Amino acid sequence: MKTGKKYREALKLVDREKIYTIEEAAPLLKKTSVTKFDSTIDVSFRLNVKPTLADQLVRGTIVLPHGSGKTKRVLALTNAKQEEAKAAGAEFVGGKELIEKIQKENWFDYDVIVATPDMMGELGKMGRLLGPKGLMPNPKTGTVTMAIGQAITEIKKGKIAYRVDKDANLNISVARCSFSDQDIVDNLRAVCEAVAKSRPSTVKGTFILNAVAHTTMGPGLKITFEGRN
């Protein structure tokens, strides 16, 4: 595969045989960024699970200590809690009329949908439209709740949801290269610990087979952390 000059230069800084600690990885990730914009820092996990089995579908949420560096646009669907949702900072707030807008106009100018339980009767009919986009609210991720203001506040502070894909891979955006080294370390550690704790009880042997941190279009760094197995 042909690679650019910046990537090749960045790759020279990486020891491909070494497994870096999170503290070692943070400053090196910033040095190996190859974009002109503020690159996202991701961590990718290869898990020893079978996602087709319900008891091995790894998913969860976490509030990043220093946020993700991206402000998420929130659509709040509720009747009784509209003022609460507005006060918490939701960009779009409404009820059935906004559900109809999604259906009729194919409207997706938001990143997350938060809803009160009374809206799920109508929303549930839109699984084929919202599901593939990862937008369907779910009680397990805290996006279906009567405490809609708290849910929106957490999302604005950096709450993210993660879910293993069909190939047993898990990719999570954890920071930006403009973050301080310590903020990157804190966010990386929080994510790694959350994934390690989500180990299904039915998994035998090593749970996290591999963990790699990387920037947008930058080379990957194999990382290690306590509790990874």
3-state secondary structure 120-166: HHHHHHHHHHHHHHCCCCCHHHCCECCCHHHHHHHHHHCEEEEECCC
Averaged pLDDT score across all residues of the chain: 92
Q: What is the predicted pLDDT for the residue at 2? A: 53
**Which position has the higher pLDDT, 2 or 32?**
32
* Confidence at 228, pLDDT banded by 50, 70, 90: low
H/E segment holding residue 206: none
- Residue 209 phi, psi (nearest 5): -75, -30
> Which amino acid is present at 75?
L
The pLDDT, as a whole number, for residue 71 is 82
Give me the half-sphere count of Cα atoms (radius 13 Å) on the Cβ side of residue 154: 16
pTM over the 0.75 mark = yes
